[in-house]
Amino acid sequence: MPARVDEGRSRGYIIPIGGAEEKITEPAILQRFVDLCGGSGARIAVIPTASQRDETGPRYVEVFQGMGVADARVLPFHTRADCERADLVDELEHASGVFLTGGSQLRLSTTLGGTPAGRSLRRLNAQGVHVAGTSAGAAFLCEHMIARGDEGTSPRANMVNLAPGLGLTNHVIIDQHFRQRDRLGRLLTALAYNPFAVGVGLDEDTAAFIGPDGMLEVRGTGAITVVDPSDLEYSSMSTSRNSAPVCMVGVRLHILVDGIRYDTRTRTALTN
């Protein structure tokens, strides 16, 4: 479950981004994240744990500084020992916004999971700090994380592996690079395992700004595919074997574009 919100406080935004977001010409997604975090007065912690490229963290710091953020810094949580370091966790505690880069979501979960840094992220979001993640960072934000899976449109048994994510929300299961990598089947498969959640498939350069009330707003140049299994009438997941296709009857699907909202709690799309 997400960390408890204290009385009188409001949870921060959860912002999964589908990857390959525009950083230079019209960085609308990153700009809105910066504005939420305090604009030029924001304190943004960039966590590049998912990436194995040394330049990933500094590149995002450069982008945020180019937007006028005076205090943007990389927190090098590269190992579980780093996630125990009091100095790094203290720096994280002073952030008004946290940005998780792309790479491997399993590297995020196996490095941050169960550490002081991971617990701090959950607590900070419950205290009002906004947490964004792109690509692998997006997948990691939810409780049930898609760790890996196959491409394809139809759900199939054994198509996807799930692992525990950061757990900032248990209302959604997130997938990224959605249209570009043909990932509808693996999101449907994940939902066949967990039909209580809403599936959120993010195209590249597209983000879901999920507010403390569970309202999701689409931003970006692509689309978000929302898969709602709440009225699922039948699933053959329990009897499907190997790579056989899985039957799912009664699934609802929405395609949402920039400016459209979706209430993840009432499962309702709002077009005006």
Residue 124: which H helix or E strand, with range? helix 116-126
Ramachandran area for residue 129 (φ above 0: left; ψ -120 to 50: alpha; else beta): beta
Phi–psi pair at 40, nearest 5 degrees: -65, -20
Q: Which amino acid is at 66?
A: G
State pLDDT tens for residues 96-145: 999 999 999 999 999 999 999 999 999 999 999 999 999 999 999 999 99
Q: Is residue 1 part of a domain?
A: no
Rounded average pLDDT over 241-260: 97
Give the model confidence (pLDDT) of 72-85 as tens digits: 999 999 999 999 99
Q: Is the model's pTM score more than 0.95?
A: yes
**Bridge-partner residues for 58, per DSSP?**
none
Catalytic residues: 135, 177, 204
Domain assignment of residue 2, yes or no: no
pLDDT band at residue 188 using 50, 70 and 90 as cut-offs: very high
What CATH number does the domain containing 58 carry?
Answer: 3.40.50.880
In-domain check, residue 62: yes
**DSSP class of 74:** E
**Largest alpha-carbon pair distance within the chain?**
56
Q: CA-CA distance, 54 to 7, in Å (whole number)?
A: 41
233: containing domain: 14-270
Q: For residue 85, what are its two tokens?
A: 């370091």
Residue by residue, what is the 3-state secondary structure of 177-238? CCCCCCCHHHHHHHHHHCCCCEEEEECCCEEEEECCCCEEEEEECCCEEEEECCCCCEECCC
Q: Is residue 97 part of a domain?
A: yes
Total tally of structural domains belonging to the chain: 1
Residue 5 lies in a domain: no
The answer to whether residue 221 scores a pLDDT higher than 80 is yes
Residue 123 lies in a domain: yes
Quick check: is 207 in a domain? yes
